[in-house]
Amino acid sequence: MKRLSAVLVVMTIVVSVLMGSAWGQFAKPEEAIAYRQAVMVLIGQHFGRLAAMVKGDRDYDLDEFANNAALVETFAGLPWEAFMEPGSDKGDTSLKPEAFKNKDTFEQAAQALENETSQLAIVAEGGDLPAIKEQFGRTAQSCKNCHSAYRK
Ligand code: HEC
């Protein structure tokens, strides 16, 4: 149920985020935290399905891989505004306060994920498994880079 309500929070807030682009789109810092955590849960779920196919725990299926890669690419564009919401470095969050002190490098790490997931979605369409695995590895590395710097 917790996950379901997180998804509902995303669906409600995504509309308001798409309508505006300045910082401070959320009524309360807790909403920004719920939003970005929900998006990360979605990224984690769909990236996990890719991982299962890359590792061979699940049979590789071109369409399934490409669909999940496209979802991850879309989700990768969503959470960054919520990460920079003023006041959201405190409360029920694993975001390190360093992210606020180093906004530029945090944004670079976010951009790196967007670039890698876009590339992954392109490679996925081609169905060349060794190339897919390599690009999956680069994408996973961009998750790790940001988590080790900015996630508690
Ligand atoms: C630019 C930084 C950044 C990148 C890139 C990034 N994450 Fe995260 N992620 C975070 C931060 C910070 C948190 C903690 C958010 C919070 O608690 O407010 C987080 C949280 C998470 C969570 C836990 C969500 C929850 O609250 O239950 C998962 C799962 C996750 N990330 C998966 C991923 C995966 C998979 C990738 C790569 C495909 C990725 N992340 C890329 C910064 C990033």
- In order along its 152 residues, the chain shows pLDDT tens digits of 566 677 776 666 665 555 554 456 899 999 999 999 999 999 999 999 999 999 999 999 999 999 999 999 999 999 999 999 999 999 999 999 999 999 999 999 999 999 999 999 999 999 999 999 999 999 999 999 999 999 99
Cα-to-centroid distance, 152 and ligand 1 (Å):
10
Report whether residue 71 contacts ligand 1, using a CB cutoff of 6 Å.
Answer: no
Cα-to-centroid distance, 40 and ligand 1 (Å):
5
Is residue 36 within 8 Å of 83, Cβ to Cβ?
yes
pTM confidence score: 0.88
CB burial class (10 A; 0-12, 13-18, 19+) of residue 125?
middle
Residue ranges per structural domain of the chain:
2-15+26-150
d(CA 120, CA 125) in angstroms, rounded, equals 9
Report whether residue 42 contacts ligand 1, using a CB cutoff of 6 Å.
Answer: no
The CATH code for residues 2-15+26-150 is 1.20.120.10
Q: Which atom of ligand 1 is nearest to the CA of 110?
A: 1
